[in-house]
């Protein structure tokens, strides 16, 4: 397939990748192009910003989770629907697994998807040193695919001199600059950037950013670079599917539970799930007829008072999960425990489905990629079966569980984690289902069986009678 595309990366986090990616997406959208957007790595918030610009979900691509062939398939699946794809890198361009390898880095994703790279360089406090920095990134890996440079936080007066030096000495195309725009800065908090819903007048700010970029970036050259991308081939994986009908799965989704991989949800749907979204924060009742529930991560600590105050929802969830299979990750795991400490140190009653108390540690704990191995028979499979994921949290629990062993790649670090049984799996790790679709399918099978649902017992009684 032919899929015009570019990957925007940078020498380090905090270089302005997300802001510039969103500005470029908005400017290209204003040209009536059909666009798809992707984020390299296990990031939930940046795709929210992409999606706010495009009005459609942005996806994640991660070579640690899915290897080369599956990563190319996940890219092609979306890229085929659009005129151009924009991929945003993660951290520094070469920064990958365990802080000592390029696997799962933006460089690795560019290599696997054969995508031309535009390096975004934050030039604050630099002039000639910009050339030395860019030269290093070009030469560290001969197949870097870095084909263009955008100079961020660059003054209009200095830009022509730095552009000439870069293009003369390094023979690389300089695609423009972005001046510092105070009104377009995106703030951060303990889990990264704040979410798009928390940025006032976001759409107006993005349009203003795109307007500035139309004057300072060479979009014709950017489009030409995207059109030079090599052709790709990919193969659709053979996925299991429920043989009869669908299974109805409730998915918690609101301000408190907003961290999820869109590909996870779409995979469940492709395998036979009907997803019904509900808000533990705002809704009074669960959707009717649910056969299983999923609680993904987010910011329950910021909304602990509201979640606790919704006593009707907490009671319904507590009753529903006596019988129904469920999955819970990170923030969802914290919500299902007995109590949760908020950011001010106050403790609030939560759903009380699981034993344990959630509390703030004030530091990043057990951060990074994980290979998760089941330690005993449970809902998703037997001992030794594996699925990949990651952890990223500033909270902990008095009962993390011992039913899964998490191993960090390329290091000797490992630990017991997650509570599991024949009916549920819950813990801090975020799972990526495409790393083992069979395990995700087993969850749907378990929900479809639902042998312990009171209504199913009633149906069996009537049939026998």
Residues taking part in catalysis: 330
DSSP labels, 318-373: HHHTTTS-EEEETHHHHHTSSEEE-TTS-EEE---SSS-EEEEEEEEEEEEEEEEE
Dihedral (Cα; 397, 97, 363, 91), 10-degree rounding: -130
Would you say 16 and 4 are in contact if contact means Cβ atoms under 8 Å apart? no
**Tokens of residue 262, six digits:** 């869109």
Nearest to 54, CA basis, from 196, 184, 191: 196
**Tokens of residue 161, six digits:** 């001199």
Would you say 369 and 408 are in contact if contact means Cβ atoms under 8 Å apart? yes
Taking the CA of residue 155 as centre, how many other CA atoms within 13 Å lie in the half-sphere pointing to its CB?
7
Strand 117-122 with 84-88, pairing: unpaired
| DSSP assigned state of 170 | H
**For the chain, percent helix, then strand, then coil, each to nearest 5?**
35, 25, 40
Nearest to 298, CA basis, from 191, 431, 419, 406: 191
Distance CA 119, CA 248 (A): 44
Place of tokens 């798009």: 196
Q: Name the 3-class secondary structure at 84.
A: strand
φ/ψ of residue 98, rounded to 5? 60, 10
Would you say 405 and 415 are in contact if contact means Cβ atoms under 8 Å apart? yes
Distance CA 325, CA 154 (A): 54
């Amino acid at each position: 397939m032919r899929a015009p595309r570019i990957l925007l990366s940078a020498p380090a986090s905090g270089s302005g990748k997300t802001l510039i990616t969103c500005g470029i997406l908005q400017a290209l959208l204003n040209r009536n192009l059909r666009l798809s957007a992707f984020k390299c790595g296990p990031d939930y918030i940046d795709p929210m910003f992409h999606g706010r610009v495009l009005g459609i979900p942005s996806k994640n691509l991660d070579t640690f989770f899915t290897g080369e062939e599956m990563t190319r398939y996940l890219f092609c699946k979306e890229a085929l629907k659009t005129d151009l794809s924009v991929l945003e890198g993660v951290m520094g361009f070469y920064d990958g697994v365990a802080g000592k390898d390029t696997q799962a880095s933006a460089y690795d994703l560019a290599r696997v998807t054969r995508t031309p790279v535009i390096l975004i360089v934050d030039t604050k406090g630099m002039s000639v040193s910009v050339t030395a920095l860019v030269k290093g990134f070009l030469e560290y890996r001969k197949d870097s695919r870095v084909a263009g440079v955008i100079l961020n936080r660059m003054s209009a007066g200095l830009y022509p001199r730095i552009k000439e030096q870069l293009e003369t000495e390094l023979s690389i195309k300089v695609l423009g600059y972005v001046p510092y725009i105070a009104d377009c800065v995106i703030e951060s908090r303990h889990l990264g950037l704040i979410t798009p819903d928390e940025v006032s007048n976001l759409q107006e700010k993005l349009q203003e950013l795109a307007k500035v970029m139309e004057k300072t970036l060479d979009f014709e050259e950017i489009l030409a670079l995207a059109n030079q991308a090599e052709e790709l081939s990919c193969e659709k994986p053979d996925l299991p599917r429920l043989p009869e009908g669908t299974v109805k799965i409730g998915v918690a989704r609101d301000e408190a539970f907003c961290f999820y991989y869109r590909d996870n949800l779409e995979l469940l749907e492709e395998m036979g799930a009907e997803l019904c979204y509900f808000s533990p924060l705002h809704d009074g009742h669960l959707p009717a007829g649910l056969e299983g529930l999923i609680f993904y991560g987010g910011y329950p600590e910021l909304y602990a008072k509201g979640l606790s105050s919704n006593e009707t929802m907490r009671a319904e969830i507590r009753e529903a999960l006596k019988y129904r299979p469920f999955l819970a990750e990170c923030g969802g795991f914290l919500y299902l425990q007995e109590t949760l400490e908020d950011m001010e140190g106050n403790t609030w009653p939560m759903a009380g489905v699981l034993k344990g108390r959630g509390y703030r540690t004030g530091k990043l704990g057990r951060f990074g990629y994980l290979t998760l191995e089941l330690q005993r028979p449970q809902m998703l499979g037997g001992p030794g079966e594996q699925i990949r994921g990651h952890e990223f949290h500033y909270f902990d629990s008095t009962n993390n569980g011992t039913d899964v062993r998490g191993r960090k790649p390329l290091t000797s670090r490992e630990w017991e984690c997650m509570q599991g049984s024949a009916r549920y799996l819950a813990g801090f790790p975020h799972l990526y289902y495409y790393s083992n679709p069979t395990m995700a399918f087993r969850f749907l099978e378990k929900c479809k069986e639902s042998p312990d649902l009171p209504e199913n017992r009633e149906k069996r009684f009537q049939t026998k009678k």
